Structures are given as C-alpha cells and as structure tokens.
Amino acid sequence: MRDGTQEATRARPSVAMCTVERVDDVRRVADDIRHSGGTVGFVPTMGFLHDGHRSLMRAARAVHDVVVVSVFVNPLQFGPAEDLDAYPRDLPRDADIARAEGVDVLFVPSVAEMYPEPPLTTVSVAGLTDGLCGTTRPLHFAGVATVVAKLLAIMGPCHAYFGRKDFQQLAVVRRLVSDLSLPVTVVGCPTVREADGVARSSRNAYLAPAERAAATVLMRALAAGVEAVHAGERAAGRVGDAVAAVVAAEPLATLDYAEVRRADDLAACERLDDGVEAVLALAARIGTTRLIDNTTFTVVDEDVVADLPVPSVST
C-alpha cells in the first residue's frame, strides 16, 4: 500500500469494472490481489449511491491497488415495521457511479447468496448498541454487525471504509473488528453534506420538497448544540436540550434523541471533560423519514474544536 497521505488517485491502466455476484468469486479476486503483493480497499454499501459513497470510493482509490464496493440491502438490519421493501434501489445507476469512481469490482450478492439458510449465528456488540439508535431500532445493530462481520470475513485482509455520519455504526464496526481480531483496518471518513448542511443519505430520496427544506433542522440543531458549548455550557444534558429546542421549533420534525456521548466508546457523560472528544448525536423524523446526523468536538481550555462545517446557504 502506498503512503496514505498521498491524495492523487493511483495511476493505472484503464480496466473495465467487473461485477461479481458470488461470494467465492469476490473472495478469489481479493486473494489473488494480495498474493500478487497488492492491497484491497473495501467499501460496503446498501446501494442507491450518493456523494457520500463517492467520497469513500475516492479515499480507497487513492491508496489501494484494487477497490471493491459491495451493494447489498441487508434484511437482517430492518425491523418488521421498517422500510426494507421501500428502501431505494437502482443497481444500473450504482454501477455507473462505481465505474466513474474507478472501482475495480462491484460485489452484488443476492440475499440467497449471503444467507443460503436463515442464519443461526448473529453478532452483537454489547454496550455500544445501548441507547441512541439502538433504543428505537433494537434489531438494527445485530443485523449490521452480522452482515459486516460476514462481508469482512469474505474480503479478508483489507482496509474497510465507512462514513462518520453513521457514528454509532462506525463505533460498532471498530469494536467488532478489534474483539474478533479481524485482519481489517477500519477507516472512518468525514460526513459529506449538501450546500445547506443536510448530510447525504440514501433516505433523503424519501423527502418531499417541503420535508427536504425542513431537513436542514438537523444541521441547525447540531450547530446550536456546539454554540452552547462555545458559550461555556459543560453539562451534557443541557447541550442536548439546546439541540432538542431547535428541532421542536420545526413543525415537520419529530425528535428521536439528541445526546452527548464520549466519542471513543459512546459512554454516557454528564459533563464535558477538557481534552476528551465527544460526539453530539441526533436522530429525528422529517415527516415519516428517519434521519440521523452528528458532530464531534473537543473542549480545549476555553476553546471548542468541532468538525461541523458552516453551511454555505443560510437558513
């Protein structure tokens, strides 16, 4: 693997992207690359790709000999009343996006390929899945952890790229990889946002125009929380209250949660400790569509270092 600080995309001959549907085939491709001395960058997705996914592909493309992207809508992570059947899918479009980003292998297994029989083995990560999205989606993270463990076992030694927008998921994956001693390096990449601050998400496709406009409330609410910390607030609960107040003022939004947790282990905290990175996480329904977002920040003496950008379009 080349130096990870290098940003230019690896120069290579133009090679047509191949689409693979079988587990044995994608495993063989990854093994062949490693046996020849190359490295594999892996981007697992549920498809309906957007600029956030593109950023993960570009990060992988910059440092790896072969980039593999998977598209698999995992039924295990959807509850009985959730949107599995309605989840947006457009595989031809996904293939075009992956090809344009220089992806080498598009792995598109069927449900029958991934789960030939109903799985009797599941993976759960205790503690990290308590609270936040785990409260209202109790089946979700066991489904996520199970499919990620399976995909990483299929891929073998690699770097796996995930977005920081799903911060709880990223924490779960990192702990899963550590606890199971998987030969995988997990890379968390920055959240990609629209010009008005709305985080890119496949579920944004569900939003009607008025709901899309209302979705800016998540970014505005997070900004209000960070501003409260800038103003000297150190009680985690009050920071969450500042976020909740902004969401409550949006008629089309219904708050699920707004909480501050320690960023490294998602442990609850009562106060913001100096020098300790925290994550301010938020989930809300805009109409019927559930969206999530977050920002991380660290209090350093009287200053606050946060990763939340300022939107280029005022609201």
Residue 83 pLDDT? 84
pTM of the complete model: 0.92
Q: Which residue ranges of the chain lie beneath pLDDT 70? A: 1-15, 310-315
Residue 1 pLDDT? 40
CB pairs under 8 A, 24+ apart, for 84-89? 86/206, 87/46, 87/48, 87/202, 88/47, 88/48, 88/202, 88/203, 88/205, 88/206, 89/47, 89/48
Catalytic residue list contains 230 = no
Residue recorded with tokens 């697992």: 44
Residue 302 pLDDT? 84
Residue 8 pLDDT? 39
Given 35, 50, 53, 159, which residue is catalytic? 53
Q: What is the set of domains in the chain, with CATH numbers? A: 18-189 (3.40.50.620), 202-306 (3.30.1300.10)
Q: ∠ CA(210), CA(212), CA(214), 5° rounding?
A: 70
Residue type, 74: N
Residue 309 pLDDT? 73
The CA R_g of the chain, rounded to the nearest whole Å, is 20
